[in-house]
Amino acid sequence: MNSPVPRGQINVLAEPVSNKATGWRLFVKTVIARAYPRIIGQQREKSWMFFDIFLPMMAVSAYVFVYRAIGAPEDYVGFVVMGGAMTAFWLNVLWGMSSQLYWEKENGNLALYIIAPNQLMAILLGMALGGMVATALRAVVIILLGTLLFNVQFVVISFFQLLAVFLLAMVALYGMGMMTSSLFLLLSREAWHISSLAQEPIYLASGFYFPIKSFPYWVAATASIIPLTLGLDAMRQLVFPTGATLGFLSVGIEIGILLVLCVVFLTGARVLLAHMEKLAIREGRLTESRR
Amino acid sequence: MAPFAIETEKLGRIYKIRGNKKERKIRKELVALADVDLQIQQGELFGLLGPNGAGKTTLIKILTTLLAPTSGRALVSGYDVAEAPQLVRPLINMVSGGESSGYGLLTVRENLWMFSQFYGLPSKEANQRIVELLHQVGLADRIHTKSSDLSTGLRQKMNIVRGFLTDPRVLFLDEPTLGLDVSASRDVRKFIRGWLDADKSRTLLLTTHYMVEAEELCDRVAIINQGRVLACDSPEVLKRRLQRDAIFVIETSPLNGLSAPKLEALHEVRKATVTEKEGGALLNLILVEESALAAVINILTQKDIKVMHLTKREPTLEDVFVDLVGRSMAEMEQSE
């Protein structure tokens, strides 16, 4: 991007663009281009990185001290550190995906996305991919810090299963983010309030700081609609010695459910996005409120 | 025969406005556009002229596939914007005045590159075009500046480059010089004209409420008010409507209660606008004929109003607007 480009190679007023990409090439270009600000923004605004790591670490520390004070098994400390890392993804989906389209609408980007020949689905995928990459860095730092500060021991039972669970949980989670984004397409300022409202209950329901097996069965089963719930539960089973005994369902079943959630959320996002876009065009809700 | 670049037939848009909490079920209707018929040829620079709320932006939103019409239809390059938006979108782009699109953390070049990718431009060619266009609008020295660090005017120049970067067949500019100073506006107007003249298959629809801009740039102008097109022709032909009339600007002492309606009560005065200023007033009068000036001077004398300065001038689009709408655009916007 930053390589110097000499002038005079093109008569920009007269020459048409040579070979515009269409179809899947345009889709891929759009995904990469929309992911770019997410990834680059992370590097440019160092203070974001600090607060995104520092604040979850404070919550993690609080739980660690509580567990140690009450003499809980040491694996619970690892559960909390892992939960703290996954919190970053949830916050990213909530603020960087779901309510993002409202901000994009307000600053005029959404209108430009719509009138471009790309698909809005590619824009959302780009947002998801960029957000995932940027957040993964934060999550890794939280895990490293937590491990160093609280001496967490990981015993990986199956690396491939762990990778599969993580990727499936991410795809399903960001798929859910894309689906809710399309709902937010119709919202105005209330989008912000809805995101605020969703933040804390999910902390509880997903078992970020404790195993969801502690919930009554049907509560845990209902909470499993959120991909992070099962993703986190399965990952804990795969990296901590006591994980399997504290797991809600077996890893195999959880992988199966995560696969279903991936399909449901991605398909749902596609269908809902197309519907909401049509509805928003009909009702005139695609452009910022001031215009 | 090639289709019109833009064509609308009986195009209408009604907004349904929900009431407050107590009146939630009551839905008011606001007619933003009514029976708009336009035919814009390829290669034309067409202007939509009207005050705020006239329906200009609504029309652009419909033509750019952002808003569905509630009646009639609109075609861009022969494609129906409501039925086939996917065929319209590769051919168009849009720039709005005062928009804050893009991402503040990205540099000017990164923002422009990002938008170019949404249109499928090859990355290398996009970068070449960005450099060239930034030079043309005088923004080349800011190519690596974060867009959040740009002034409003420079940001608008970046937006303008974004619109031209993708080489659209039909470009929509909604108040493109809003927020630009006089010199920058002139540069942008020159650039717009140059872009259009370089390829006759390009078409540009411009909305503005700057009469001078419309007069200087546009091949044809539609004057729009309250969602309706009142007149549509070249600026010269529109002004010719008033050529029989005599247009005078009179600088006077304070008006002592004399107002525009009182002046218009004289049958010799077709339209009058009054602008109060320190120590006096400025009267803009469209008279049925030159000799009618005597009657006006007579009234002023009776009211003990001194004439400080008097000039006769050629009709402008502003006069056409006043003639059609009854008030100047500035008056309309002040009364909002």
User: What pLDDT digit, counting tens, does each position of A216-226 carry?
Assistant: 999 999 999 99
Q: Is B79 on the interface with A (CB under 8 A)?
A: no
Residue B79 belongs to a domain:
yes
Pairing mode, strands B246-252 and B280-287: antiparallel
Give chain A's domain count.
1
Residue A114 belongs to a domain:
yes
Per-residue pLDDT reduced to its tens digit, B187-206: 889 899 999 999 989 999 99
Whether B105 sits inside 8 A of A37 (CB atoms) is: yes
Residue B102 belongs to a domain:
yes
Residue A10 belongs to a domain:
no
What is the C-alpha to C-alpha distance for residues A85 and A139, in angstroms, rounded to an integer?
4
Whether A10 sits inside 8 A of B136 (CB atoms) is: no
Residue B55 belongs to a domain:
yes
**Domain identity same for B173 and B100:** yes
Whether B122 sits inside 8 A of A36 (CB atoms) is: no
What is the C-alpha to C-alpha distance for residues B179 and B69, in angstroms, rounded to an integer?
30
For residues B135 and B126, is the Cβ–Cβ distance under 8 A?
Answer: no
Interface test with B, best of A17, A129, A285, A288 (most B CBs within 10 A): A17
**Domain identity same for B226 and B314:** no
Provide, as residue numbers in chain B, all residues whose Cβ is less than 8 Å from the Cβ of A118.
Answer: 118-120
**Domain identity same for B142 and B17:** yes
pLDDT at B240 over 90: no
Backbone dihedral angles phi then psi of residue B225, each to the nearest 5 degrees = -150, 135
Helices of type H across B6-55: none
Residue A16 belongs to a domain:
no
For residues B179 and B154, is the Cβ–Cβ distance under 8 A?
Answer: no
When the pLDDT of each residue in chain B is averaged and rounded to a whole number, the result is: 90
Residue A11 belongs to a domain:
no
When the pLDDT of each residue in chain A is averaged and rounded to a whole number, the result is: 87
**Domain identity same for B117 and B263:** no
Backbone dihedral angles phi then psi of residue A70, each to the nearest 5 degrees = -95, 0
**Domain identity same for B212 and B273:** no
Provide, as residue numbers in chain B, all residues whose Cβ is less than 8 Å from the Cβ of A8.
Answer: 132
Which of B211, B233, B255 is the C-terminal boundary of a domain?
B233
Instruction: Name the residue type at position B221.
Output: V
What residues contact B238, with CB distance under 8 A and at least 6 apart? B221, B223, B231, B317, B320
Q: Identify the residue with better confidence: B235 or A48.
A: B235
**Domain identity same for B24 and B148:** yes
CA distance B221 to chain A (A): 22
Which of B66, B68, B132 minimises the CB distance to A111?
B66
Residue B1 belongs to a domain:
no
**Domain identity same for B226 and B262:** no
What percent of chain B lies above the pLDDT cut of 90? Answer: 57
For residues B68 and A287, is the Cβ–Cβ distance under 8 A?
Answer: no
- Rounded to 10 deg, the angle between the A159-184 and A251-283 helix axes is 20
> What are the tokens at B179?
């927020």
Which of B233, B262, B278 is the C-terminal boundary of a domain?
B233
ipTM of the complex: 0.85
Range of the domain at A215: 23-283
Across A154-174, average pLDDT: 94
Which of B218, B233, B248 is the C-terminal boundary of a domain?
B233
Q: Is A10 on the interface with B (CB under 8 A)?
A: yes
Backbone dihedral angles phi then psi of residue B49, each to the nearest 5 degrees = -115, 125
For residues A228 and A89, is the Cβ–Cβ distance under 8 A?
Answer: yes
Residue A207 belongs to a domain:
yes
Range of the domain at B156: 6-233
**Domain identity same for B213 and B327:** no
Give chain B's domain count.
2
Residue A44 belongs to a domain:
yes
For the beta carbon of residue A65, count every other beta carbon within 10 angstroms.
12
Among candidates B127, B162, B119, which has minimal Cα distance to A2? Answer: B127
Provide, as residue numbers in chain A, all residues whose Cβ is less than 8 Å from the Cβ of B147.
Answer: none
Per-residue pLDDT reduced to its tens digit, B49-92: 998 889 999 999 999 999 999 999 999 999 999 999 999 999 99
Report which DSSP code applies to B107.
B
Among candidates A200, A201, A261, A204, which has minimal Cα distance to A230? Answer: A261
CA distance A229 to chain B (A): 33
Per-residue confidence band for B128, with pLDDT thresholds at 50, 70 and 90 = very high
Whether B128 sits inside 8 A of A5 (CB atoms) is: yes
For the beta carbon of residue B4, count every other beta carbon within 10 angstroms.
18
> What are the tokens at A245?
């005994």
Residue A136 belongs to a domain:
yes
Residue A8 belongs to a domain:
no
Whether the model pTM is above 0.90: no
**Domain identity same for B143 and B262:** no
Per-residue pLDDT reduced to its tens digit, A226-278: 999 999 999 999 999 887 888 999 999 999 999 999 999 999 999 999 998 89
**Domain identity same for B66 and B161:** yes
Query: Closest-CA residue in chain A for B169?
Result: A16
Helices of type H across A240-291: 243-246, 251-283
> Can you give the pLDDT at residue A9?
61
Query: Closest-CA residue in chain B for A26?
Result: B120
Q: Is A287 on the interface with B (CB under 8 A)?
A: yes
> Can you give the pLDDT at residue A8?
60
Q: Is B21 on the interface with A (CB under 8 A)?
A: no
pLDDT at B1 over 60: yes
**Domain identity same for B105 and B150:** yes
Q: What's the CATH code of the domain at B276?
A: 3.30.70
**Domain identity same for B144 and B250:** no
Provide, as residue numbers in chain A, all residues whose Cβ is less than 8 Å from the Cβ of B93.
Answer: 115
Provide, as residue numbers in chain B, all residues whose Cβ is less than 8 Å from the Cβ of A32.
Answer: 117
